Chain A
Amino acid sequence: MATSSSPPQIASEVVAERRGIPAASFVKDVQAYLNQLGLDVNNTLAFLQERLQQYKVVEMKLLAQQRDLQAKIPDIEKCLDVVATLQAKKDSDEALLTDFEVSEGIYARARIENADSVCLWLGANVMLEYSCEEATTLLQNNLENAKASLEVLVADLQFLRDQVTITQVTIARVYNWDVHQRRVKNTSSSQDS
Protein backbone atom coordinates (compact mmCIF):
# COMPACT_ATOMS: atom_id res chain seq x y z
CA MET A 1 0.00 0.00 0.00
CA ALA A 2 1.71 3.17 -1.14
CA THR A 3 1.38 5.86 1.48
CA SER A 4 1.43 8.49 -1.23
CA SER A 5 -1.92 7.29 -2.53
CA SER A 6 -3.77 8.47 0.57
CA PRO A 7 -2.18 11.72 1.76
CA PRO A 8 -5.10 13.01 3.83
CA GLN A 9 -5.16 9.91 6.01
CA ILE A 10 -1.60 9.25 6.99
CA ALA A 11 0.26 12.50 6.47
CA SER A 12 -2.13 14.72 8.44
CA GLU A 13 -2.11 14.74 12.20
CA VAL A 14 -4.90 13.06 14.12
CA VAL A 15 -7.86 15.36 14.74
CA ALA A 16 -8.19 16.07 18.45
CA GLU A 17 -11.96 16.20 18.39
CA ARG A 18 -14.81 16.71 15.96
CA ARG A 19 -17.88 18.74 16.81
CA GLY A 20 -17.70 17.92 20.46
CA ILE A 21 -16.69 14.28 20.04
CA PRO A 22 -13.23 13.71 21.57
CA ALA A 23 -10.89 11.61 19.46
CA ALA A 24 -9.53 8.38 20.88
CA SER A 25 -5.75 8.64 21.14
CA PHE A 26 -3.93 5.92 19.25
CA VAL A 27 -1.60 3.87 21.45
CA LYS A 28 1.77 3.04 19.95
CA ASP A 29 3.21 1.30 22.97
CA VAL A 30 1.05 -0.04 25.78
CA GLN A 31 3.66 0.41 28.52
CA ALA A 32 4.27 4.02 27.52
CA TYR A 33 0.51 4.63 27.42
CA LEU A 34 0.00 3.26 30.92
CA ASN A 35 2.89 5.39 32.21
CA GLN A 36 1.44 8.43 30.52
CA LEU A 37 -2.00 7.85 32.08
CA GLY A 38 -0.45 7.06 35.43
CA LEU A 39 -3.07 4.37 36.04
CA ASP A 40 -2.73 0.65 36.60
CA VAL A 41 -4.19 -1.82 34.13
CA ASN A 42 -7.61 -2.25 35.74
CA ASN A 43 -8.22 1.48 36.05
CA THR A 44 -7.09 2.01 32.49
CA LEU A 45 -9.48 -0.65 31.25
CA ALA A 46 -12.29 0.93 33.28
CA PHE A 47 -11.49 4.35 31.83
CA LEU A 48 -11.48 3.00 28.28
CA GLN A 49 -14.77 1.14 28.83
CA GLU A 50 -16.36 4.33 30.11
CA ARG A 51 -15.16 6.19 27.03
CA LEU A 52 -16.70 3.45 24.90
CA GLN A 53 -20.05 3.88 26.67
CA GLN A 54 -19.98 7.64 26.09
CA TYR A 55 -19.28 7.08 22.41
CA LYS A 56 -22.21 4.67 22.21
CA VAL A 57 -24.56 7.28 23.71
CA VAL A 58 -23.50 9.86 21.14
CA GLU A 59 -23.86 7.26 18.39
CA MET A 60 -27.49 6.61 19.40
CA LYS A 61 -28.21 10.32 19.25
CA LEU A 62 -26.63 10.75 15.83
CA LEU A 63 -28.41 7.69 14.45
CA ALA A 64 -31.76 9.13 15.59
CA GLN A 65 -30.96 12.44 13.87
CA GLN A 66 -29.97 10.56 10.74
CA ARG A 67 -33.27 8.67 10.69
CA ASP A 68 -35.22 11.94 11.03
CA LEU A 69 -33.35 13.55 8.15
CA GLN A 70 -33.73 10.48 5.98
CA ALA A 71 -37.50 10.64 6.52
CA LYS A 72 -37.64 14.39 5.91
CA ILE A 73 -35.97 14.33 2.50
CA PRO A 74 -38.58 12.22 0.64
CA ASP A 75 -41.31 14.38 2.23
CA ILE A 76 -39.79 17.56 0.79
CA GLU A 77 -39.42 15.87 -2.60
CA LYS A 78 -43.11 14.91 -2.53
CA CYS A 79 -44.06 18.54 -1.76
CA LEU A 80 -41.95 19.74 -4.68
CA ASP A 81 -43.76 17.25 -6.89
CA VAL A 82 -47.17 18.58 -5.84
CA VAL A 83 -46.19 22.22 -6.40
CA ALA A 84 -44.75 21.36 -9.80
CA THR A 85 -47.99 19.58 -10.75
CA LEU A 86 -50.06 22.57 -9.63
CA GLN A 87 -47.91 24.91 -11.70
CA ALA A 88 -48.18 22.68 -14.76
CA LYS A 89 -51.96 22.61 -14.46
CA LYS A 90 -52.09 26.38 -14.05
CA ASP A 91 -50.02 26.84 -17.20
CA SER A 92 -52.25 24.51 -19.19
CA ASP A 93 -55.31 26.29 -17.72
CA GLU A 94 -56.93 23.11 -16.50
CA ALA A 95 -58.47 22.42 -13.16
CA LEU A 96 -56.90 19.72 -11.04
CA LEU A 97 -59.24 17.12 -9.64
CA THR A 98 -57.87 15.27 -6.66
CA ASP A 99 -59.12 12.82 -4.06
CA PHE A 100 -57.72 13.61 -0.68
CA GLU A 101 -58.06 12.06 2.74
CA VAL A 102 -60.54 13.82 5.02
CA SER A 103 -60.20 11.27 7.75
CA GLU A 104 -58.83 7.76 7.91
CA GLY A 105 -60.46 5.78 5.10
CA ILE A 106 -62.65 8.71 4.01
CA TYR A 107 -61.73 10.61 0.88
CA ALA A 108 -63.28 13.69 -0.70
CA ARG A 109 -62.94 15.14 -4.15
CA ALA A 110 -61.52 18.60 -4.65
CA ARG A 111 -61.33 20.78 -7.72
CA ILE A 112 -58.33 23.09 -7.70
CA GLU A 113 -58.46 25.91 -10.24
CA ASN A 114 -55.79 28.43 -11.05
CA ALA A 115 -53.52 27.64 -8.18
CA ASP A 116 -51.66 30.95 -7.89
CA SER A 117 -50.44 30.33 -4.41
CA VAL A 118 -49.83 27.49 -2.01
CA CYS A 119 -49.61 27.38 1.73
CA LEU A 120 -46.55 25.78 3.24
CA TRP A 121 -46.44 24.34 6.74
CA LEU A 122 -43.34 25.75 8.38
CA GLY A 123 -43.69 23.92 11.67
CA ALA A 124 -44.54 25.31 15.10
CA ASN A 125 -48.20 25.70 14.09
CA VAL A 126 -47.28 28.23 11.43
CA MET A 127 -48.46 28.09 7.85
CA LEU A 128 -47.55 30.69 5.24
CA GLU A 129 -48.93 31.45 1.82
CA TYR A 130 -46.46 31.56 -1.07
CA SER A 131 -46.69 31.90 -4.81
CA CYS A 132 -45.86 28.70 -6.66
CA GLU A 133 -42.43 29.98 -7.67
CA GLU A 134 -41.55 31.13 -4.15
CA ALA A 135 -42.76 27.83 -2.74
CA THR A 136 -40.59 25.88 -5.18
CA THR A 137 -37.55 28.00 -4.24
CA LEU A 138 -38.18 27.56 -0.53
CA LEU A 139 -38.68 23.82 -0.81
CA GLN A 140 -35.56 23.47 -2.98
CA ASN A 141 -33.56 25.34 -0.31
CA ASN A 142 -34.93 23.11 2.43
CA LEU A 143 -34.10 20.02 0.40
CA GLU A 144 -30.50 21.15 -0.20
CA ASN A 145 -30.03 22.05 3.47
CA ALA A 146 -31.39 18.70 4.56
CA LYS A 147 -29.10 16.85 2.16
CA ALA A 148 -26.07 18.89 3.32
CA SER A 149 -26.91 18.25 6.99
CA LEU A 150 -27.23 14.56 6.25
CA GLU A 151 -23.77 14.52 4.67
CA VAL A 152 -22.19 16.20 7.69
CA LEU A 153 -24.04 13.79 9.97
CA VAL A 154 -22.81 10.76 8.06
CA ALA A 155 -19.23 12.06 8.29
CA ASP A 156 -19.69 12.58 12.04
CA LEU A 157 -20.93 9.02 12.42
CA GLN A 158 -17.96 7.68 10.47
CA PHE A 159 -15.56 9.62 12.68
CA LEU A 160 -17.36 8.37 15.77
CA ARG A 161 -17.27 4.74 14.64
CA ASP A 162 -13.54 5.06 13.97
CA GLN A 163 -13.00 6.29 17.52
CA VAL A 164 -15.07 3.37 18.84
CA THR A 165 -12.94 0.92 16.84
CA ILE A 166 -9.69 2.51 18.07
CA THR A 167 -10.90 2.32 21.66
CA GLN A 168 -11.95 -1.31 21.29
CA VAL A 169 -8.57 -2.22 19.81
CA THR A 170 -6.79 -0.34 22.62
CA ILE A 171 -8.81 -2.22 25.25
CA ALA A 172 -7.86 -5.54 23.65
CA ARG A 173 -4.20 -4.57 23.48
CA VAL A 174 -4.02 -3.37 27.10
CA TYR A 175 -5.70 -6.59 28.21
CA ASN A 176 -3.34 -8.74 26.10
CA TRP A 177 -0.34 -6.80 27.40
CA ASP A 178 -1.50 -7.43 30.96
CA VAL A 179 -1.92 -11.16 30.31
CA HIS A 180 1.55 -11.21 28.75
CA GLN A 181 3.06 -9.37 31.73
CA ARG A 182 1.50 -11.82 34.18
CA ARG A 183 2.79 -14.76 32.14
CA VAL A 184 6.30 -13.33 32.13
CA LYS A 185 6.14 -12.66 35.87
CA ASN A 186 4.83 -16.18 36.58
CA THR A 187 7.52 -17.85 34.50
CA SER A 188 10.29 -15.75 36.05
CA SER A 189 8.99 -16.30 39.60
CA SER A 190 8.60 -20.05 39.00
CA GLN A 191 12.16 -20.08 37.69
CA ASP A 192 13.41 -18.37 40.82
CA SER A 193 11.72 -20.78 43.21
Chain B
Amino acid sequence: MQQAGGSETEVTWEDQQNINKFGRLNNRFHELEDEIKIAKEANENIEDASNELILTDEEVVRFQIGEVFAHVPKDEVEMRIEKMQQETTIRLEKLEEEKESILAQMAELKKILYGKFKDSINLEED
Protein backbone atom coordinates (compact mmCIF):
# COMPACT_ATOMS: atom_id res chain seq x y z
CA MET B 1 0.00 0.00 0.00
CA GLN B 2 1.38 3.44 -0.87
CA GLN B 3 1.66 5.92 1.98
CA ALA B 4 -0.12 8.81 0.17
CA GLY B 5 0.51 11.27 3.02
CA GLY B 6 -0.58 8.90 5.78
CA SER B 7 -4.26 8.48 5.07
CA GLU B 8 -6.59 7.61 7.88
CA THR B 9 -8.85 5.27 5.86
CA GLU B 10 -10.44 2.72 8.12
CA VAL B 11 -9.69 -0.89 7.29
CA THR B 12 -12.49 -3.10 8.50
CA TRP B 13 -12.36 -6.86 8.99
CA GLU B 14 -14.55 -7.17 5.89
CA ASP B 15 -12.00 -5.16 3.86
CA GLN B 16 -9.21 -7.37 5.18
CA GLN B 17 -11.12 -10.47 4.17
CA ASN B 18 -11.68 -9.05 0.70
CA ILE B 19 -7.97 -8.35 0.38
CA ASN B 20 -7.19 -11.88 1.59
CA LYS B 21 -9.64 -13.34 -0.88
CA PHE B 22 -8.12 -11.34 -3.72
CA GLY B 23 -4.67 -12.62 -2.78
CA ARG B 24 -5.92 -16.22 -2.71
CA LEU B 25 -7.66 -15.86 -6.08
CA ASN B 26 -4.54 -14.32 -7.60
CA ASN B 27 -2.40 -17.23 -6.41
CA ARG B 28 -4.89 -19.79 -7.72
CA PHE B 29 -4.98 -17.89 -11.04
CA HIS B 30 -1.23 -18.29 -11.50
CA GLU B 31 -1.36 -21.95 -10.51
CA LEU B 32 -4.16 -22.47 -13.06
CA GLU B 33 -2.15 -20.80 -15.82
CA ASP B 34 0.70 -23.25 -15.19
CA GLU B 35 -1.67 -26.23 -15.06
CA ILE B 36 -3.36 -25.13 -18.29
CA LYS B 37 0.02 -24.85 -20.00
CA ILE B 38 0.95 -28.40 -18.93
CA ALA B 39 -2.45 -29.78 -19.97
CA LYS B 40 -2.15 -28.13 -23.40
CA GLU B 41 1.30 -29.65 -23.88
CA ALA B 42 -0.01 -33.08 -22.90
CA ASN B 43 -2.85 -32.63 -25.38
CA GLU B 44 -0.40 -31.80 -28.15
CA ASN B 45 1.72 -34.85 -27.34
CA ILE B 46 -1.32 -37.11 -27.47
CA GLU B 47 -2.33 -35.49 -30.77
CA ASP B 48 1.15 -36.15 -32.21
CA ALA B 49 1.11 -39.73 -30.93
CA SER B 50 -2.27 -40.33 -32.48
CA ASN B 51 -1.05 -38.96 -35.83
CA GLU B 52 2.07 -41.13 -35.74
CA LEU B 53 -0.13 -44.12 -35.01
CA ILE B 54 -2.14 -43.55 -38.17
CA LEU B 55 1.04 -43.34 -40.23
CA THR B 56 2.70 -46.48 -38.85
CA ASP B 57 2.06 -49.84 -40.48
CA GLU B 58 3.21 -51.97 -37.59
CA GLU B 59 0.70 -54.21 -35.92
CA VAL B 60 2.24 -54.08 -32.50
CA VAL B 61 3.13 -50.76 -30.93
CA ARG B 62 5.33 -50.18 -27.92
CA PHE B 63 3.04 -48.22 -25.61
CA GLN B 64 4.38 -46.68 -22.44
CA ILE B 65 2.63 -47.97 -19.32
CA GLY B 66 4.26 -46.77 -16.15
CA GLU B 67 8.01 -46.97 -16.72
CA VAL B 68 8.02 -49.76 -19.31
CA PHE B 69 7.01 -50.03 -22.94
CA ALA B 70 4.49 -52.80 -23.37
CA HIS B 71 3.86 -54.45 -26.72
CA VAL B 72 0.27 -53.59 -27.39
CA PRO B 73 -1.78 -54.30 -30.55
CA LYS B 74 -2.48 -51.21 -32.63
CA ASP B 75 -6.23 -51.26 -32.01
CA GLU B 76 -5.85 -51.24 -28.28
CA VAL B 77 -3.34 -48.39 -28.53
CA GLU B 78 -5.85 -46.42 -30.58
CA MET B 79 -8.49 -46.91 -27.90
CA ARG B 80 -6.12 -45.93 -25.11
CA ILE B 81 -4.99 -42.81 -26.91
CA GLU B 82 -8.57 -41.78 -27.61
CA LYS B 83 -9.44 -42.25 -23.96
CA MET B 84 -6.44 -40.15 -22.90
CA GLN B 85 -7.46 -37.45 -25.37
CA GLN B 86 -10.96 -37.28 -23.95
CA GLU B 87 -9.72 -37.12 -20.38
CA THR B 88 -7.23 -34.37 -21.17
CA THR B 89 -9.79 -32.32 -23.11
CA ILE B 90 -12.32 -32.52 -20.27
CA ARG B 91 -9.63 -31.55 -17.76
CA LEU B 92 -8.54 -28.61 -19.91
CA GLU B 93 -12.12 -27.38 -20.21
CA LYS B 94 -12.60 -27.51 -16.44
CA LEU B 95 -9.37 -25.58 -15.87
CA GLU B 96 -10.35 -22.89 -18.40
CA GLU B 97 -13.76 -22.58 -16.74
CA GLU B 98 -12.20 -22.16 -13.32
CA LYS B 99 -9.83 -19.55 -14.74
CA GLU B 100 -12.73 -17.53 -16.17
CA SER B 101 -14.62 -17.68 -12.90
CA ILE B 102 -11.57 -16.52 -10.95
CA LEU B 103 -10.95 -13.61 -13.32
CA ALA B 104 -14.57 -12.51 -12.89
CA GLN B 105 -14.34 -12.70 -9.09
CA MET B 106 -11.07 -10.77 -9.10
CA ALA B 107 -12.59 -8.02 -11.28
CA GLU B 108 -15.49 -7.77 -8.83
CA LEU B 109 -13.16 -7.48 -5.83
CA LYS B 110 -11.00 -4.92 -7.63
CA LYS B 111 -14.06 -2.73 -8.10
CA ILE B 112 -14.97 -2.96 -4.42
CA LEU B 113 -11.46 -2.42 -3.09
CA TYR B 114 -10.51 0.40 -5.46
CA GLY B 115 -13.87 1.97 -4.65
CA LYS B 116 -13.03 2.10 -0.96
CA PHE B 117 -9.28 2.64 -0.98
CA LYS B 118 -8.71 4.37 -4.34
CA ASP B 119 -5.01 5.18 -4.57
CA SER B 120 -4.04 3.63 -1.26
CA ILE B 121 -4.18 0.13 -2.69
CA ASN B 122 -2.47 -1.47 -5.67
CA LEU B 123 -3.95 -4.68 -7.05
CA GLU B 124 -2.10 -4.90 -10.34
CA GLU B 125 0.55 -7.39 -11.41
CA ASP B 126 3.94 -5.80 -11.03
Contact = CB atoms under 8 A, between A and B. Distances in A.
Interface of A: 1, 9-10, 26-28, 78-79, 81-82, 85, 96-101, 107, 110, 158, 161-162, 165-166, 169, 172-173, 175-183
Interface in B1-52: 1, 3-8, 11-14, 16-17, 19-20, 23-24, 27
Contacts, number: 85
B117 to A, nearest CB: 11
Given A82-B66, A85-B70, A169 B3 contact: no
A115 to B, nearest CB: 12
B65 A172 contact: no
B19 A100 contact: no
A-B pairs with the 7 shortest C-beta distances? A180-B6, A179-B6, A172-B1, A82-B66, A97-B71, A100-B68, A99-B69
Interface in B48-84: 62, 65-71
A156 B90 CA distance: 28
Contacts of A27: 11
Contacts of B6: 176-183
A158 B69 contact: no
Nearest to A100: B68
A9 B17 contact: yes
Nearest to A101: B67
A175 B3 contact: yes
Contacts of B65: 78, 81-82, 85, 98
Chain B interface mostly:
mixed
A165 B27 CA distance: 12
Given A98-B65, A99-B69, 12 more contacts: A26-B13, A27-B11, A78-B65, A99-B68, A100-B68, A100-B69, A101-B68, A161-B24, A166-B20, A172-B3, A173-B1, A179-B3
Nearest to B24: A158
B11 A98 contact: no
Given A28-B13, A78-B67, A85-B70, A99 B62 contact: yes
A166 to B, nearest CB: 6
Contacts of A97: 70-71
A180 B82 CA distance: 65
Interface in B67-111: 67-71
13 contacts: A26-B16, A78-B65, A82-B66, A99-B62, A99-B69, A101-B68, A107-B69, A110-B68, A161-B23, A162-B20, A165-B16, A166-B20, A175-B3
A183 B66 contact: no
